[in-house]
Amino acid sequence: MKNGHSHLFIPGPTNIPDSVRQAMNVPMQDMRAPDFGDLTKPLFAGLKRVYKTTEGRVFMFPGSGTGAWESAITNTLNTGDKVLMSRFGQFSHLWVDMAERLGLKPHVCEVEWGKGVPDNEYARVLEADKSHEIKAVFVTQNETATGVTSDVAAVRRALDAAKHPALLFVDGVSSIGSIDFRMDEWGVDLAVSGSQKGFMLPAGLSFLGVSQKALEANKSATMARCYFSFEDMLKFNDDGYFPYTPPTQLFHGLKQSLALIEEEGLENIFARHYRLAEGVRRAIAAWDGCRLCATGPEWHSDTVSAIVVPDSIDARDVIRIGYEKYRTSFGSGLSKVMGKVFRIGHLGDLNEVMCLAALGSAEMALRDAGAKIELGSGVAAAQAWYMSPFAESVKVAAE
């Protein structure tokens, strides 16, 4: 017999607040009814506030963030277009793969896994592109595979310094709603997110922020698209409707999750994520032989920590033991870091004691897998941080 709850500490899907789950427990309704827009139109407005845009708009597509990736590309670019991308983890790699498969010609900056978008190299490439052959620049704001966050604002500065007109694409799947993101201020043209991360919902909705510049590019884009067409969404969304059957229950959940986000306040949410993440990072620093995959504090992610285990340990054993023995799910290492890394997701509906539970379970799983760490060392380091006056008062406010 299993008592209590199983514990979910992967970087998505994240834990769903009870009030959000309860909000989705409603009868099916007519998505063509005259009052359906009473439910959906406030959702579009709420998403714009999370994206920090007044000038753009946000589309909601049934599907995961990958669908919004595809929509962003096919609605604004043309086959054969040159684009600037970087590869430093599994998800930035998958974005490059999609671009190639859709017929784009990526200029790819290869970066050590553990670092992020090379804004200095981007600046060099953009400055050299005098004929403006590059039509779009891609930034993975938070690389979930390695626990690395990149500086979107720095890429915007590089574009502006080069007076380059390329569109700016941002993968914000594991950042928007959890880490500071400013669509209008940073001049982001396409921004992708998903329901199962900071929005604290089941997977099944993808969100795509679209600037007026991107909407204008859509008018001359010739790539084939159907399900993810901007044109179809534009015909229906302003009245609160969709070109196909929408996931109505998820809309009810989103209504409640947006209410929770607004009640806490975005800046407080960003501060909480930093506070929780820093406790996890201090715990990892206390584990002998372990370290973060992120190579320096400038890359630290506040939504997920990727932990490199000692060479003698297989991280897959840590994940298996955590799941089978301690009923705790940790994120696995992906691609190049498989077997070398396990991940603790610390985003969404989360607090200090939940993080301490993750760390305590990770310590036991690490010891069972053969790591020579001192039990309680990481938990104590995190406790000391969470109890400190600085952690209690820290606010990561907009600069």
pLDDT band at 393 (very low <50, low <70, confident <90, very high): low
Residue 396 has a pLDDT of 41
Cα–Cα distances in Å, from 15 out to 155, 157, 293, 330, 357?
A: 32, 36, 24, 13, 14
Confidence label for 2 from pLDDT (cuts 50, 70 and 90): confident
State the CB neighbour count (10 A cutoff) for residue 236: 14
Q: Which residue has the higher pLDDT, 1 or 253?
A: 253
Give residue 399's pLDDT: 39
Cβ neighbours of residue 275 under 8 Å, at least 6 residues apart? 352, 386, 391, 394
Statement: residue 377 has pLDDT above 50 = yes
pLDDT band at 397 (very low <50, low <70, confident <90, very high): very low
The model's pLDDT over 112-151, given as tens digits with 9 standing for 90+, comes to 999 999 999 999 999 999 999 999 999 999 999 999 999 9
The string of pLDDT tens digits covering residues 214-257 is 999 999 999 999 999 999 999 999 999 999 999 999 999 999 99
Q: How many C-beta neighbours within 10 Å does residue 72 have?
A: 29
| Summary count for the chain: helices (H), strands (E) | 14, 14
Residues 343-380: b if buried by 16+ CB within 10 A, e if exposed: bbbbbbbbebebbbbbbbbbbbbbeebebebeeebbbb
| Residue type for position 36 | F
Q: Across the chain, what does the average pLDDT equal?
A: 96
pTM, entire model: 0.96
Average pLDDT over residues 362-375: 98
Give the residue among 247, 225, 254, 220 at the shortest CA–CA distance from 69: 225
Among residues of the chain, what percentage have pLDDT more than 90? 96
Residue 153 has pLDDT above 90, yes or no: yes
Res. 211: pLDDT tops 80? yes
Please spell the DSSP secondary structure of 172-184, one letter per residue.
-TTTTTTS---TT
Over residues 184-196, the mean pLDDT reads: 98
Amino acid at residue number 178: S
pLDDT tens, residue by residue, 26-53 = 999 999 999 999 999 999 999 999 999 9
Q: What is the per-residue pLDDT across 293-309, written as a single tens digit (0 to 9) for each?
A: 999 999 999 999 999 99
pLDDT of residue 1: 58
Q: State the average pLDDT over residues 207-219.
A: 98
pLDDT 10s digits, 306-339: 999 999 999 999 999 999 999 999 999 999 999 9
- Residues 6+ away with beta carbon under 8 Å from 20: 200, 201, 253, 256, 257, 260
Backbone angles phi, psi at 187, to 5 degrees: 65, 40
Supply φ then ψ for residue 76, to 5 degrees.
-130, -15
Confidence class for position 389, pLDDT limits 50, 70, 90: confident
Confidence band of 392 (pLDDT split at 50, 70, 90): low
Q: For the residues 68-96, what does the mean pLDDT come to?
A: 98
CA dihedral 224, 227, 232, 237 (to 10 degrees): -140
- Domains belonging to the chain, first-starting first, are 18-262 (3.40.640.10), 265-393 (3.90.1150.10)
Please report which confidence band the pLDDT of residue 395 belongs to, taking 50, 70 and 90 as the band edges. Answer: very low
Quote the tokens at residue 321.
């033991």
